[in-house]
Structure 1
Amino acid sequence: MSTSHSDSASRPVAIVTGGSRNIGRAIALALGAAGMAVVIVARSDRDAAEQVVHELEALGTQATSVLADVAREASADLIVAHALERFGRLDVLVNNAAIRRERPVEAMSLAEWREITGICLDGAFLLCRAAIPHLATVPAGAIINIGGLTAYTGAPNRAHVVAAKAGLDGLTKALAVELAPRGITVNLVSPGRIGTDRSHASAEKNPAHHARNQTLVGREGTAEEVAAMVAYLAGPQARFLTGQTVHVNGGAFLP
């Protein structure tokens, strides 16, 4: 979609990593419905990313997509530069990109460990570092990290995922303290059992921890329910919330 800076200068702009599928797609659509222009970041599936762009445009908002591996240091600057080039500003960063494979820890290679932590945790750090100077120039800059239930409950065969998601919780608190003087809020949304398409290679079809983490409400959550919380934290009503972990899990975990 062709957009000039003057056309979009007054519209808040959000970057959503892992924005082409499942929770990321729902977040992008929720932010678009709230009136934001959205940059969809996907690692390799251009068609899926462009489909979300078309869905956002159908909502009457502006959108663009960029392919990038968030675990690579150069990608963060590329993603932020793309957002600024297309829309002229940056207001919200949603670090959602993740891989949730399962592997017994004694069989896990260092490369497998680093692949997961690189995307989930290193990628969030790199994007935050690149985005902060620009988030600090807008009236309501916000960073929202997407965590996970097993960071708090543990899970078999997920040492890399659990460690990375727990690290995101720590990163959220550290940045909330550091960035508050610059007017940037930093929060984490931790989804529980969410009904998503698990046919992609980045996720297990039947995660072992699901049998242990039953919800009180008797059902899985939806991607849209997670997205609604992200949209709230990205909006003007949440400016008194920072450094918080918000659990969207149907009562599967009671902190």
Structure 2
Amino acid sequence: MKLSGQIALVTGGSRGIGAAICRRLAAEGASVAVNYRSSEGEAKEVVRSIEEAGGTALAVRGDVSDHTEAAAVVRRVTEELGDLHMLVNNAGVAKDALIYNMAPDDWLDVMRINFGGVFNCTQAVLPHFMAKGEGVIVNVSSVMGERGWVGESNYAASKGAVNAFTRCCAMESARFGIRVNAVLPGFSPTELVAGLTEGATGKGIRRQIPQRRFGTVEEIADVVCFLAGPESRYMTGSLVTVDGGAMTALGLGRPN
């Protein structure tokens, strides 16, 4: 297994894409810390499924949008599992609204969690990675960070920040043997985007995707695992789109 002996921290790992990433990394031999903020039962279920498959996992509570808590999460992982080798920044929220109707907290909370969590956890792991002279960071962003969509201005802005941060962090970290890349999923049916992938809205969006289907969380996890593994050793600062070709089309930026 290509990640045997490696230790990974996955933020927002209790459900959706995060849970799929945890299981995928564990299947390749990594010991996985499943971070969660409030979904303790779901996080423990991910841990249980990994352990039943013969892997090693640990559920770690912590709000990564808080700088102190993010540092405490990293500290606990290193104390209980050992020195980290990879960080997957996946924690995120959505509070969709038109700009005209958007409350101040609707954009501030999204930015604080989606981008703040990436910054806080990255800063917390860098001393460990720099001391070892190696490390991998994979940020789970979104195609929304590179395109526009009605009602997604706060979410898109937060992911655009993640994309820019990924490039800058890759430049600063390369001399320490640290690689930093991002995965940009398109539409993948999860609780976070249920309103966009179900019913008539979902059918309208699927028509705008060249492959005419939504991606699965497992397909996103496969790409994260690739970027975390040795096959991508000459990749850093890359934004890897996983969207069924959606970004190749002009599209309307809304269901039609």
TM-score, length-scaled by structure 1: 0.90
Separation of aligned partners in 1, 2:196 and 2:185: 16
In the TM superposition, residue 136 of structure 1 has moved relative to its aligned partner by 2.5
Separation of aligned partners in 2, 1:58 and 1:138: 31
Structure 1 residues 170 and 209, CA gap change in structure 2 (3 angstroms): farther
Separation of aligned partners in 1, 2:203 and 2:66: 31
Within 5 Å, give how 1:70-149 maps onto structure 2: 70-138=64-132, 140-149=134-143
Percent same amino acid among aligned pairs?
34
Tell me which residue corresponds to 1:179: 173
- Alignment-mate amino acid for residue 233 of structure 1: L
SS across alignment from 2:115: helix
In the TM superposition, residue 203 of structure 1 has moved relative to its aligned partner by 4.5
In the TM superposition, residue 195 of structure 1 has moved relative to its aligned partner by 2.5
Contact 1:101 1:204 in 2 (8 A): no
- Alignment-mate amino acid for residue 51 of structure 2: E
1:64-108, Cα deviation, whole Å (9 max, x unpaired): 111111111111111101110111210111010111221111221
Residue segments in structure 2 that go unaligned for 5+ positions in a row: 250-256
Does residue 68 (structure 1) correspond to residue 58 (structure 2)? The answer is: no
Give aligned pairs, total. Answer: 242
Contact 1:193 1:210 in 2 (8 A): no
Structure 1 residues 209 and 100, CA gap change in structure 2 (3 angstroms): farther
Give structure 1 regions of 4+ aligned residues with deviation exceeding 6 angstroms.
Answer: 207-210
Separation of aligned partners in 1, 2:247 and 2:19: 25
Does residue 247 (structure 1) correspond to residue 237 (structure 2)? The answer is: no
Tell me which residue corresponds to 1:238: 232
Contact 1:80 1:131 in 2 (8 A): yes
TM-score, length-scaled by structure 2: 0.89
- Alignment-mate amino acid for residue 205 of structure 1: G
Separation of aligned partners in 2, 1:209 and 1:161: 19
Give the alignment's Cα RMSD to 1 decimal: 1.8
SS across alignment from 2:151: coil
In the TM superposition, residue 17 of structure 1 has moved relative to its aligned partner by 0.7
